[in-house]
Amino acid sequence: MLDLGFLSRSRVRLVRQTEIAECGLASLAMVANYHGLDVDLGTLRRRFAPSLRGASLRSLIGLADKIGLTPRAVKLPLEQLANLHVPCILHWDMNHYVVLERVTAGKALVHNPDGRSSWLSMAEVSGHFTGVALELRPGANFQAGSQRERLRLPQLWRRMTGMKRALAQVLVLSLVLQIFVLASPYYMQLAVDNVLPALDRDLLAVLALGFGLFTLINAGASLLRSFVLMIAGTTLGYGLASNVARRLLRLPIDWFEKRHTGDILSRFQSITPIQNMLTQGAVAAIVDGLMATLTLALMVWYSPLLAFVSAVAFGLYGVVRLVSFSFEREAQEAAIISNGKEQTTLIETIRGITTLRLFGREAFRHALWQTRLTDAVNANVRVARIAIWQSTANLLIFGIENIVTIWLAIGFVVDGAGFSLGMVFAYMAYKTQFIQKAAGLIDQGIAFKMLGLHLERLSDIALSNEDRSFGVGADIETPLKGNIELREVFYRYSPSDPAVLDGVDLKIGQGEHIAITGPSGGGKSTLAKLLLGLVEPDSGELLVDGMPLSRFGYKSFHNQVAAVLQEDSLFAGTLSDNIALFDDGIDMERVIASAMMAAIHEDVMRMPMQYETLVGDMGSTLSGGQKQRILLARALYRQPRILILDEGTAHLDMAHEHAVNAAIGAMGITRIVIAHRRETIEAAERVLLMTGGKLVDPRASEGGGPL
C-alpha cells in the first residue's frame, strides 16, 4: 500500500514512547505539541511518573487536565470516527493508545507511539479501535510555549581535558592540506599556458620539483592529521562513553525496570555519531566552509558569471537537503528504534531458550523476531531511499551545472574573451573543489542538526534524576546497629495507581528475626526494596537506628545491609568472584566462611576447580538450589547487620535451610524473611501478614489488626 503519509505532511509530530507502558503519556505529548505546548516526553515523564502497568483512561484524563487540556471521553462506533474533534486519543488493541489526526476519503492518519505514523483504511482501524476515544481541547489555563528540557553537548564532555588542543592541531593540519588543494590547479594552468606553448622542459622540471616537494609536505601533514584524529577520536569516545555509562549506572532501579534492554543499548550507542561529529565533522565543517569561501572567491576572480552558475547549483542542493531533512530525521529515528526492538527480542529469546525449548515455541519466537527484523529492515530501507533521492538530486543538479559551466568556459576561449585553456583547466579544478567543499559543508550542517536526534535519545539517560543515594549525604558513614522502622509509609507505582503500601507501620529491633508472608502480588517485594532504600515512599519515613535514612546515609546503610532478592543474578566469572562480587582484594577465608554458612562449601569442594569454577551466563552451570546458596553466600560475605531474604531459601531442601538458619542465627544480625513456606515462616520469632497494603499480625485477635 502506498505510504500517503510521505506525500501529505502531518501537522502532528510523532512522539515515540521510551518506557514499556507510556503510550498514553506519548499520545498526550503529541496533542499538547499540536496545540502549541512544546514539551518532550522526558519532561512529561519527570512531571507525571507513569506506571509500569500502563495508564487507565481515568488517569489519562487527570494528566490532561493538569497540563490545561479539557478532556472529553466518548464511546462511538467506527462510522462516527470522522466526527471527533481532532487530534484526539484512541484506545487501541485493548491495551494501547494512539493519536488520530484526521479522517479523509475512508482513511485515517494514525500516529502510533510504538511504531510510526501511517494512513490506515477503516477496515484496518476496525481491527484495533476499541470504540473509546478521548477528545482534548485547550482549556482556559492551557499555556502554549516551550517546556522542553534539552541535553547540551558540553554536558557530555565534562571533566575531559586536551580536546581543544587536539582539535586545534587537526584544524591547522587540515588547513595545510587545503593549501595544497588550492595550489594544484595553478600548477595545471602554468603547465598548459606557459610550458606547452614554449615547449620549455626546464620550466616543467622546476614546476614538477616544486610541486613534488609540496606533495611531500602534504603527505606528512595528512599522516599527522590522521594520527591526531585517531587519538582525539579515541579520547573523546572513551570520555563520552565513560561519562554516559557513569550516569546510566547511577539511575534509579525503576528506570531500568521500565525500559527494554535493546532500547537502552541503542540509546547508549548514540554516543558514536556524536563522537564522529565532534572529532571529524566539526573540523571538516570549518575547513569546508573556509575552503568553499576561498575557492568561490578564486572562481569569481576567474569569471563572475561562471561562479554565479556554481553558486546557484549549490543553493539548489542546499534547498533539497533542507526540504528532505524532516523526512530523513523521522526515518533515522524509526530505524534506531526498530533496531533496538529487534535487539531486545533477540536478547530475550537467547536468555529464554530453555523455556522456549521446553514448550516447543522456538518457531513462534523466531517468527516474532523475524517480524521485528522486518520492521528494522524496512526502516533502514526508508533511510536508504531518502539517501538515494538526495544522491540523485545531487547528480542531477551538479551534472547540469557542469554542462553549463563547460559550455560557457569553452565559449569564452573560442570568443577570445581573455580566458585561456589553462584557465579553463584551473577553473574547473577550483569549481570541483568548491562543489565538494560546499556540498560537504551542507552535509556536515545536516549531520550537526541530526545530532539533535541522538541528543534527545541520550537525554533519557543524561537528564534523568540520579538515584537519591548519590545525592546529599552520600559520603556519610554511620555504624549500623540493626534497628529499622517504618512510619505511616505509603507507596504506589504511579500517581494514578492504587496504593501498594497503604500506611504501613513496622518496627524491627536489633537482632530480631521476622517473617513476612501474604498473597502473591500483595507488595511484599516492594516492601523489601523500600526497607533496603532502593525505592522511595510517596510519604512516610524509613528510620534506621532511630534516624531518617537520608541522615543516616544511603551509602553507609547499603554498605552494612545485604539481601537476596527474587531477581538477583550471577555474573560470568568464578564462584569466588561472584561470592565476593568481584572485590578488588578477595578475602578467600571470608569467601569460604560465607560459603559454609550458606551450606554451599561442600558442593563447591566437590567441583573439579572448586572456588575457581567458572559460572556461565546468569549462573547457568548451577542448579537452582546451588545458585540460591551462592547468592546467599554473596550476601553474607558483606558481613551485614541487616539481612533481607525475599524467597531467599525457596529452592533449598529442609536440611540445607535448617543449616543456613542456624548459621545465620549465630551471627546475631537482624533478619527479615519474605516467604510462603511454612517451615521458613515458623522459624521466625515474629510473623507478619501483608494484606490490603497493610501489615497485620495473624496471631492477634480474630481479623488481626495493623501493627
Residues with a known catalytic role: 23
Q: Tell me which residue of 634, 631, 645, 704 sits closest to 675, measured CA to CA.
A: 645
Residues facing residue 98 across a β-bridge: 90
Please tell me the distance from the alpha carbon of residue 267 to that of residue 259, in angstroms, as a whole number.
11
Identity of residue 164:
K
Give the DSSP letter string of 79-136: GGGGGS-SSEEEEETTTEEEEEEEEETTEEEEE-TTS-EEEEEHHHHHTTEEEEEEEE
Q: Provide the 3-class DSSP secondary structure of residue 511.
A: coil
Identity of residue 453:
L
Phi, psi (deg, nearest 5) at residue 50:
-75, 160
Q: Tell me which residue of 555, 349, 393, 578 sits closest to 468, measured CA to CA.
A: 555
Contacts 24+ apart (CB under 8 A), 77-81: 77/131, 78/122, 78/125, 78/126, 78/129, 78/131, 81/108, 81/122, 81/125, 81/129, 81/133
Cβ neighbour number for residue 649 with a 10 Å cutoff: 26
Please tell me the distance from the alpha carbon of residue 106 to that of residue 648, in angstroms, as a whole number.
58
Q: What is the radius of gyration, based on Cα positions, of the chain? A: 34
Give the DSSP letter string of 153-209: GGGTSTT--SHHHHHHHHHHHHHHHHHHHHHHHHHHHHIIIIIHHHT-HHHHHHHHH
Q: Tell me which residue of 650, 702, 690, 644 sits closest to 669, measured CA to CA.
A: 644
Query: Which ranges in 415-479 belong to alpha helices (H)?
Result: 421-462
Exposed/middle/buried for residue 696 (C-beta within 10 Å: 0-12, 13-18, 19+): middle
Phi, psi (deg, nearest 5) at residue 515:
-120, 140
Q: Provide the 3-class DSSP secondary structure of residue 392.
A: helix
Retrieve residue 104's grid coordinates.
479523509
Please tell me the distance from the alpha carbon of residue 490 to that of residue 693, in angstroms, as a whole number.
9
Phi, psi (deg, nearest 5) at residue 676:
-115, -20
Exposed e or buried b per residue across 55-92, where buried means at least 16 C-beta atoms within 10 angstroms of its C-beta: bebebbbebbeebbbebeeeeeeeeebeebebbbbbbb
Query: Which ranges in 352-420 belong to alpha helices (H)?
Result: 353-359, 362-414
